[in-house]
Amino acid sequence: MRSIPITLAIFFSVFLGQQTKAQGLVDGFMRGKRHGLLAVTYSQGSYDTYYVNTTEVRNPNLGTVSTQALNLYASYGLDYDLDLIVSAPYVRTEASAGYWQKQEGFQDLSAALRWEAYDYKFGGLRVSWLFSVGYSMPLQNYVIDSPVTIGQGSRNIDGRTMLHFKAGAFFLTGQFGYIRRGKVTLDRIVNYYDPSQLNPNSGTSANVPDVTDAVVRTGITTKHFYLDGWAQRQTPYNEGTNIGPGIPFPTNAIGFTRVGATVYIPLLKKFGLTAGYSTTLSGRNTGKAERLNAGIVIGR
């Protein structure tokens, strides 16, 4: 029987209630021609400490920010070396204190093409070099300048390259990506906002800082189970603002270091259960959040 080449880029992380797909939308395992996978996962996370620039802060007028998300993830092998991946989360986030209104709704639709450019075998070692390009866009017009926002509201292009190593049951994947974020339309301009971040052609739109994203994942995959551990470092590429008095803003430069783990157990040939955990080790203008998730996976 085959080992489990399970695609598990289905976790969530928190930026002051904002959801983003952690570890990118892609991993190093190809689906295979005409093989598909569907995953439905539920995640829950919270934080009571966040970073203003890189300084940890607690705000009694905010309390604990909690986020729940239900995510639909699907991937399909268009060919032996080309996969299509789609993801769409429904997010709800709220604060335990203050006057912030709970936010709820569909966040962003994300899609990516993953191409395995090279696949080499050296004895028992298999090395793959992969590339991906992705695009994401908001599914609705949600609030983007609140501690309990469900997203940034920008349209993004995500380009990545990956090296994937597999020897027996052991694997190691490293990936590096650049996320180009589009401008967003502002509902208002607050008095501490940095005018240099405004679109010079319009005072009602703003620049969302781009980021670079590096992920390392290692683990074991067999016909009986899948287990991995991962680390992610996201860094603002261009200069942005820091969280001002009271609320974040779309132009905030967001960065973080997160670690986590994933487990998948097959119950039937094409059906299994997955669970995961992640925590934030350090950050910039982001919540110091922990997150748990669990879900079902159909396909292979």
pLDDT of 39 > 70? The answer is yes
Residue 229: predicted pLDDT: 97
What are the pLDDT digits (tens) for 154-196?
999 999 999 999 999 999 999 999 999 999 887 655 544 455 5
Q: What class, spelled out in words, does domain 12-299 have in CATH?
A: mainly beta
pLDDT of 295 > 90? The answer is yes
Average of pLDDT values for 115-120? 96
Average of pLDDT values for 248-271? 92
Residue 269: predicted pLDDT: 85
pLDDT of 297 > 80? The answer is yes
Residue 189: predicted pLDDT: 54
pLDDT band at 15 (very low <50, low <70, confident <90, very high): very low
Looking up tokens 């976790």, which residue turns up?
11
Domain extents in the chain: 12-299
Please tell me whether residue 195 adopts helix, strand or coil conformation.
helix
DSSP code of residue 209: P
Query: Percent of the chain scored above 70 by pLDDT?
Result: 85
Cβ atoms of 130 and 161 closer than 8 Å: yes
> Taking all residues of the chain, what is their mean pLDDT, rounded to a whole number?
86
CA distance 294 to 284: 27
Secondary structure E strands in 222-270: 226-236, 255-268
pLDDT of 205 > 70? The answer is yes
Average of pLDDT values for 117-131? 95
What are the pLDDT digits (tens) for 46-101?
999 999 999 999 988 889 999 999 999 999 999 999 999 999 999 999 999 988 88
